[in-house]
Amino acid sequence: MSRAKGKGEESNYEKYLRFKAPQIGFSSWAEKKWVWVPQGEDGFVAGEVFAESGDKYKVRLTTGDELELKKDQTHPMNPPKFDGADDMSELSHLNEPSVFHNLKRRYENDLIYTYSGLFCVVVNPYKRIPIYEKDIIDIYRGKRRNEVCPHVYAVSDEAYRYMLGDRQNQSMLITGESGAGKTENTKKVIQYIAAIAGRAGGQQGSGGATLEAQLLECNPILESFGNAKTNKNDNSSRFGKFIKLQFNSGGQIYGANIVSYLLEKSRVVWQLKGERTFHIFYQLLSGTTGDQKKSLMIRSPDTFAYLCNSGVMTVDGVSDAEEFKHTIAAMQICGFSNSDLDQTWRLVSGILHLSCLPFKASFGDAAVLEDKSELENVATLFGVDATKLEAALLRPRIKAGHEIVQTQLDVGKATHSRDALSKAIYGRMFLWIVKKINATLTQSREAHFIGVLDIAGFEIFVKNSFEQLCINYTNERLQQFFNHHMFKLEQEEYMREKINWTFIDFGIDSQETIDLLDKKPAGILPLLDEETVFPKGSDESFLNKLHGAQGKNPKYTKPRMAGKPTFCVIHYAGSVEYDVTDWLEKNKDPLQDDLETVMKNSTMELLQELFSGEYSNKVDDGKGASKDDKGAAIKSKAAAFGASNRKKGATFITVGFQYKEQLSSLMDTLQQTHPHFVRCIIPNHKKRPGLLETPIVLEQLRCNGVLEGIRISRKGFPNRQVYAEFVKRYYILVTGLTRTVADPKGATQTILDGLKLDPEQYRFGLTKIFFRAGQLAGIEEAREKKIGQLIIAIQSASRGFLARRLYYKLAGHSGAAKIIVRNVRAYLDFKTWPWWTLFVKARPLLKRRNFEKEMEEKDKTIVDMTKSLKVESEGRKKAEEGLKNLESRAEELKNLLSEEKERAAELQDQKDKLDKLKAEADKKLKELEEELEDETSQRKDLADLKRKLELKADELQEQLDDENKLRIELESQKRKNDMEIDELKGTVEKQNDSITKLERHKQTIEKEISELRELLTDEGEAVQTLEKQKRGLMGEIEELREIQDDLNKKLDVAGKAQKKIEHELRETQQKYDDEKAAKEAVEQAKKRVESEMDELKINLEQKNKSISDYEKLKKKLEGDLSEAREHLEDAEEAKANIEKAKKKVENELEETKELLEEEQEKATTAQKGKEKAEFELSALKKQLEEALAKIAALEKIRKELEARVSELETELEDERTAKANLEKLKKKLEGDIASASGKLDEVGSNKAAFEKAKKKLDDDLKAVRQTAEDEKVAREAAERNVKRLETELGELKSAVASGSSSAAIAEKQNKGLQAELQQLRDQIDEESAARSKAEKAKKDAQRELEELQERLDEEEEAKVDLENARRKLESDFAELKIKSVLKQKKRIRLLAMPRSWRRISRH
């Protein structure tokens, strides 16, 4: 409350909100031509044009300097009338220096609020100004914007009144740089609306606190967790928010809802020098005491790495301990339990302790923890296992192909992983706090709402990154929204005034930039999302794609220096160069899966909740995800930018996509509201009150869209005035024109013709005159010149009059002095004269009466009384005639009144009929609403059931298709395997037969050899022949040996293949049985789905039937409404007749009043004459008494007539009331019918939406199938690569198996393999050097080489086993070879024997 003002003391409203224009001489300004001249850092300086030649001015600045400039380098100056204007759109010259000058004049007078058309511009005062007290709120309550001085309260009240009057949702867009005062003005808006729309005594909220108190206390919570000290602002909001203030149908606050945007999570782990992280960290360290400090392990702030890297721990004038108490109290008011508070403080403290983890490099640059005490503290605070947390931080597991591989991080990567965990915990905790506040404030039903958007304005820094792109993208959309809205109002104004003007859609100006930012497929954000999900995407590849896709876009430019990781976008506020470093990481917002798993397994309920799907940017695609609508929505969004919906695993939503969806939702909400715009401005970066620096302010006006709005205004007719006001101000420009005229439009035309203005520079509307920019200033200059001339003439006449009056006065004084001197001298001479003395003494004794003079006076009095009597008689006759006329008029009024009463009775009957119709309509509408609610609930249940069944059917169909494909592949593979097995079995049987034959042959040869050895002594002659045959047979034996080796190899391979095929056959048989069972289950589920779909079709037919019934009822209600409208038209005609009668009576009453006033004046004159001649004119006295009696009778009649008129006015008021009631009834019936029609339309639209959703699901199913085919192709390609590698490994195995028989040879070949591996590594290193940005590909190649090395090691182990098997086979083969040779020798001997010997030997 502001203090009471003493006598003569200005109120705060007059002192801090009303501009006091200084007195300036008209002629001193109007006789000269003034312009604004650009002047370096000072911005603009005023100058007087003292010479003009061609297109150049010679200007004398206020500093004394003289310059010669081109005309287009200067800007015209507005007349002094416009100094300190409340609305800058009324300035005649709309240019940058004029706008800045107006703001400066007001700011110097502590006026921080100024209008600029639809904008309310607020300049941060950097000091406390008493303009927010209760008495100020009372001044603005219920006032129109043009009735009071500029203030954010006026904008808020306007939004509130529009909401109540138009029944339309409102929005207030508050933007500006950090430190401009956005958050403070948002609080003032909420404070004002809570004051004017709060319930008496307050609405009871949760926890016993009133809703108004909770609404005001949610700001301290958001400031503690979302605000921080920056170099520009000690309490800077590091997030955007949209607060919906919900109202019931009575206009009282019913609830609220908060949506947050782009929290600056990176501030948790890093800040610039001189800045701080979020307030809550310092509040917790300063505000906790005793046991709480021990349980939370609180230490000094300079011991935590996240807090001490900026060098600032405190804020001047702020007690963190007191703020912590306030934060706790606010959280308790907003419904946070003690358990919620305790878990929140544990998370905040745990984040601080995370920053102290001492990572150091170990062997091979692997990161290890030097001391695990801090790790234990973090694990205790978070309720997690310390060992698992350490493993997740240092040795996370990642997915490589189809395998899970554990990796070892170095110190840099471990630190990055730790910071990512800190940011994820804090960001999700902030979202949980907002959700908790919404649970306390939000109501499910709302009549209307006022949305307050507090978001950062356009930003252009030295280094602009991903965050600036998102903020500037938002401001581009908001500026386009403003342009559309502004010119929509302009177009409506021009159409109302019937002005011929071509509409210009200035929203197109920013559409090209918006398309560059978000249009698929080549927009910046879609390309960033595509590159983010691409496995080998990088910042460089993203930039190259962007240059290729948008290189020819006029709103896009490449960097001048080649190799610079930047690009430039031309926004409405200027060109901004963006640096793409780390954009992919920022867009992913990555977090190790192991860390998420550890957090999910925490014993703290809050931490478990934070790492559930609701707060994660990852989407679980497993079973059951379809049951969650939100999860389904996120999956559909993920599919929109190319993320695959796999049955297992997870995909993620990018930050850019999330923000784009949030912004689209916000813009949809704003499109349905009536917007109000507030732009906050920083006057200087020194935080000094009263200082307005030109470059800083103009840059913000440009970025905030204020100058853009002025630029758009200049295209139309920004200056406009009502005809009557224009004539009152400028009538002096035309001779003979008066201030008030009967035809102000014609007078305006006369003034403009006299000024000889170009007709293209103005337009005549129905009620207003419209001017283009700059024209009104010319008219104002002409007016001021004219006033200057008139003032000079008045001054000269006044001075002449005063001089003459002084002369006459002095001349009179001179004459009087002479007379006084003469009389004094005469008196001195008479003073001593004796006769004079005698005369002086005798004069008082003389008595004399002047009878002649008295008679003349009496005669004169008689003549005057005679004249007055004559006049009085004439007046009496006129009064009698007027009385007769009034009596006849009274009879007419009586008759008219009776007729109006009859009409009123008829209207009352019609009203009763309409009441009955209304009651019937209300009853029918109530029944319809109940039926519609039932139908809606049934449709909702059916839609839910249908959606679930369709999702289930899609899943089953997908599984069935996959199983059918797999079954077909397995059957074909089985047939191939059976054929190969049959072939191998035949080959094995042939091999076995040949082996048995050889064995038998071997035994026969052995017998023959033994027999031949006995006969050898007797067969000397045949020895030489046999030796020759032996050499021939030895060649054959060598060939047989080679055949035997081949057969042995084939036998080994066939054995292995047989075992493998038998194993695959068993697995195939098992899979086939499982597939068969699954197929039967799918068929059963499909039958169930078909039966449910039939039921849904039946229900839909029923709904269509009910819709047709609703259509019939709607037509019937429309007929009733037309009848009601006819009755209302009759009532309106009756009302018009009554109004005419009333006006006629009022005119006659005015005439009667004038007559009565004349009679009263005459009676007063007669009364005075009567008193003077009472003793002489008794006859006249009687006549006067009769006249007075008649006057009294007339007075009585006048009062009766006034009473009758008042009765008529009362009856007319009753008729108006009845008409108003009928109007209300009409509107209500129209609203009810419109509501019923809307509901019917909604039923129809729901049906259409149902069909669209079904089509969309079919399209999604096709897309999923196409994705599965693509994955299958990729999998086959991968299998071919695997087979190629296996072939190479097989060749290496065969080389090792065939070429080595000893450990030395194996070692040699092992070295050869190592050399080949080294060559591969060298090739990979060369490729890495050639591709500077392909680090990930290099790591993948190294990982594959390591796997190859492991496989080679396994092959080395298998080589020994193969060598042993080979040796065993060689020994077996040697024995078999010896036996075969013996058999061959025996056969040869037998062949060489005579037949008789053979016969003997056989016996």
Question: Are residues 6 and 98 in contact, defined by beta-carbon separation less than 8 angstroms?
Answer: no
CA distance readout (Å), 1375 to 995, 1211, 1363, 1369, 1382: 14, 138, 19, 10, 11
Rounded to 5°, the CA angle 381-385-391 comes to 115
Q: How many Å apart are CA 405 and CA 409, to the nearest integer?
A: 13
Residue type, 360: K
Q: In the structure encoding, which two tokens stand for residue 277, read together?
A: 């992280």
Half-sphere exposure of 1347 (CA within 13 A, CB side): 15
Out of 233, 288, 377, 748, pick the active-site residue: 233
Q: CB under 8 Å to 378, separation ≥6 — which residues?
A: 350, 353, 354, 357, 386, 389
Out of 459, 540, 585, 661, pick the active-site residue: 459
| Burial class of 318 by CB neighbour count within 10 A (0 to 12, 13 to 18, 19+) | middle
CA distance readout (Å), 762 to 748, 756, 783: 11, 12, 18
Out of 12, 98, 236, 422, pick the active-site residue: 236
Distance of CA 368 to the CA centre of its chain: 44
Q: CB under 8 Å to 1026, separation ≥6 — which residues?
A: 1388, 1389, 1392
- 3 state SS for 56-75: EEEEEECCCCEEEEEHHHCE
DSSP 210: B
Q: How many Å apart are CA 683 and CA 696, to the nearest integer?
A: 7
Residue recorded with tokens 């910042």: 539
Residue 310 burial (CB count, 10 A): 17
Q: Which residues of 1124-1143 are buried (b: 16+ CB within 10 A; e: fewer)?
A: beebbeebeebbeebeebbe
Q: How many Å apart are CA 208 and CA 206, to the nearest integer?
A: 5
Checking DSSP bridges between strand 236-237 and strand 566-571, what pairing results, if any?
unpaired
Q: How many Å apart are CA 997 and CA 575, to the nearest integer?
A: 94
Out of 183, 377, 617, 719, pick the active-site residue: 183
Catalytic-residue membership of 339:
no
Catalytic-residue membership of 459:
yes
Out of 47, 84, 117, 179, pick the active-site residue: 179
Catalytic-residue membership of 541:
no
- 3 state SS for 1193-1228: HHHHHHHHHHHHHHHHHHHHHHHHHHHHHHHHHHHH
Catalytic-residue membership of 1332:
no
DSSP 611: T
Residue 221 burial (CB count, 10 A): 22
Out of 237, 510, 616, 719, pick the active-site residue: 237
Residue spans of beta strands (DSSP E) within 1120-1162: none
Q: In the structure encoding, which two tokens stand for residue 318, read together?
A: 């702020």
Catalytic-residue membership of 178:
yes
Out of 43, 84, 457, 774, pick the active-site residue: 457
Distance of CA 1352 to the CA centre of its chain: 58
Sheet containing 253-261: give its strands across.
113-116, 119-123, 674-681, 170-176, 448-456, 240-247, 253-261
Residue recorded with tokens 């039967």: 1080
Q: How many Å apart are CA 1397 and CA 1403, to the nearest integer?
A: 10
DSSP 299: -
Residue recorded with tokens 């036998």: 1051
Q: How many Å apart are CA 1184 and CA 871, to the nearest integer?
A: 12
CA distance readout (Å), 850 to 217, 393, 1173: 97, 133, 20
Catalytic-residue membership of 457:
yes
Q: How many Å apart are CA 847 and CA 936, to the nearest integer?
A: 118
CA distance readout (Å), 232 to 228, 684, 686, 1140: 11, 10, 9, 67
Q: How many Å apart are CA 483 and CA 663, to the nearest integer?
A: 18
Catalytic residues: 178-179, 183, 233, 236-237, 457, 459
